[in-house]
Structure 1
Amino acid sequence: MLNLNRKLRILAIGAHPDDIEIGCGGTLAKYAHLGHDVYLFIATDGAAGGDSAMRRQEQEVSKSIMKSREIFWGDFSDTQINIDQISINLIEGVIHKIQPDLIFINYHDDTHQDHRHIAAITISATRYIPNVLFYETPTTQNFQPHLYVDIGQKFFDLKIQMLNAHASQVNRTNILNMSILEVARSAAHFRGVQARVPFAEAFESVRLIINIPDFHDSAL
């Protein structure tokens, strides 16, 4: 049950460096800057999209901006994540160590096989976790969000800083004359319009159980 009246432990899972920032970076930064514990699990070092050492370093810089506590690297091969018991056990081990209250993962319907596969692995690994949300990336398909987080100007700006930290990826969108920063701004405004705020990130829930606090006056 997601108890909104206490400090939370949050785990975000992504297939590649910068996936998490694209999908839920503003939300995670908001949690972290408000004092909650945020952890990242990144399945691959993104070697198919650039120098692996550089991409790891970029991720560390982004982590510092986010104020995440720790990065767990999965050491899967980029573009070759397999759905098997070994992979499930690996993520289960991270979950056991962190004991998260809330988990964010790539959406399962996606044109990138790594995104699909890490979603499938995580769905199995989180089968006993009550609070699990899907986030979107530019390659996500058929995403129908029903939960939004108002990230506001402050945390949208931090999201842009985090994406800028992944400097090797900023212009690797395969969209003519459009950087990932412009993609992120468009998405934040679009989801914001849906949520009736200027900047938002959107999610679909695998499961979400919210605690209802008791505000009865015990003296009455």
Structure 2
Amino acid sequence: MEKVDFLAFGAHPDDIECGIGGTIAKLTRLGYKVGLVDLTLGEMATNGTIEQRQDEAYKAMEILGASFRINLEIPDRGINLTPENIEKVVEILRKAQPKVIAAPYWVDRHPDHERAGSLVKEGFFSAGLNKVLPEIKPIKRPEKYLRYFLTISATPSFVVDVTEYYSIKKRAVLAHVSQFAHRPEFSQTFLNEGQFLGRIESRDLFFGAQIGKRYGEGFVLQELLELEHPLVLIK
């Protein structure tokens, strides 16, 4: 595992792409190093084997240009705030040393998304504690912890223009064939019945419209953002 500038967490192998695939594609094309962390293998999904889902996840990683993708193998539907799970997040944060991390927003249709954000927050805080995994150094927290949206949105703290990179996001999402493709061999689900991908795009169009762009991805900061002075807002 190498050091990265930005580290994204998702509960399942397709969450990161659906939420902030455009931002990740933008960051990697701008020369930043990005890592991806899936908390579970998504083994409870109606369609797709573990092996299929892992293959799809790595294809999506390559499309986005991320430096690595790691799965913590926490049981799907079992993302609990246990010391063991928190330490798994701490270990990743200490080894990758990201400046900024992102995980799902705290309100969502899927309980795993909500719990993923809570678990990452616990790990974020514990990463700065000397008595948690003291053998893994440096003992420090990332500088910022962001939340991104999946099935439920709210007012973002800021929006990233991802218009130029949106086709890459679409390719990365569609790399998860077992989840989003409507094929005879797959059972029909909420994800592949034809409207889910449209909902993702509608959300991103809405956020883009808020900043005068075509596509945008919204993020939430749980603390106030400090600025040196108002003129740093000017590009």
Aligned to 2:198: 182
- Structure 1 gap ranges (5+): 1-6, 214-220
Measured after TM superposition, the shift of residue 209 of structure 1 is 5.3
Aligned residue for 2:36, secondary structure, equals strand
Please say if 1:39 is aligned against 2:50: no
Which string of whole-angstrom CA distances, capped at 9 and with x for unpartnered residues, describes residues 55-77 of structure 1? Answer: 11000000000010001111011
Which string of whole-angstrom CA distances, capped at 9 and with x for unpartnered residues, describes residues 42-97 of structure 1? Answer: 00111111311101100000000001000111101111111111111110100000
Aligned to 1:119: 117
Deviates more, 1:78-87 or 1:91-100: 78-87
Aligned to 1:204: 220
Q: For 1:68 and 1:53, how far apart are their aligned partners in 2?
A: 20
Q: For 2:199 and 2:106, how far apart are their aligned partners in 1?
A: 20
Aligned residue for 2:103, secondary structure, equals strand
Q: 1:12 to 1:64 in 2, by over 3 A?
A: same
Structure-2-length-normalised TM-score: 0.80
Q: For 2:173 and 2:143, how far apart are their aligned partners in 1?
A: 30
Q: For 2:22 and 2:210, how far apart are their aligned partners in 1?
A: 17
* Contact 1:102–1:131, Cα closer than 8 Å, also in 2: yes
- Structure 2 gap ranges (5+): 126-140, 182-187, 230-235
* Letter matched to residue 149 of structure 1: V
Choose from 70, 87, 111 the match for 1:72.
Answer: 70
Q: For 1:144 and 1:46, how far apart are their aligned partners in 2?
A: 29
Deviates more, 1:176-185 or 1:108-117: 176-185
Measured after TM superposition, the shift of residue 177 of structure 1 is 4.8
Measured after TM superposition, the shift of residue 169 of structure 1 is 1.2
Which string of whole-angstrom CA distances, capped at 9 and with x for unpartnered residues, describes residues 128-167 of structure 1? Answer: 43311100112x36x2212100001x31100000011011
* Letter matched to residue 199 of structure 1: Y
* Contact 1:106–1:135, Cα closer than 8 Å, also in 2: yes
Q: 1:30 to 1:176 in 2, by over 3 A?
A: closer
Within-5 A mapping of 1:111-150 = 111-127=109-125, 128-138=141-151, 140=152, 143-150=154-161
Q: For 1:208 and 1:65, how far apart are their aligned partners in 2?
A: 33
* Contact 2:161–2:213, Cα closer than 8 Å, also in 1: yes
Aligned to 1:9: 5
Q: 1:197 to 1:96 in 2, by over 3 A?
A: same
4+ runs of 1 displaced by more than 6 Å?
Answer: none
Choose from 6, 14, 21 the match for 2:17.
Answer: 21
Measured after TM superposition, the shift of residue 21 of structure 1 is 0.5
Aligned pair count reads 204
Q: 1:173 to 1:150 in 2, by over 3 A?
A: farther
Choose from 152, 162, 172 the match for 1:151.
Answer: 162
* Letter matched to residue 166 of structure 1: H
Identity %: 29
Measured after TM superposition, the shift of residue 32 of structure 1 is 0.7
* Letter matched to residue 23 of structure 1: G
Q: Which of the pair is proportionally richer in strand?
A: 1
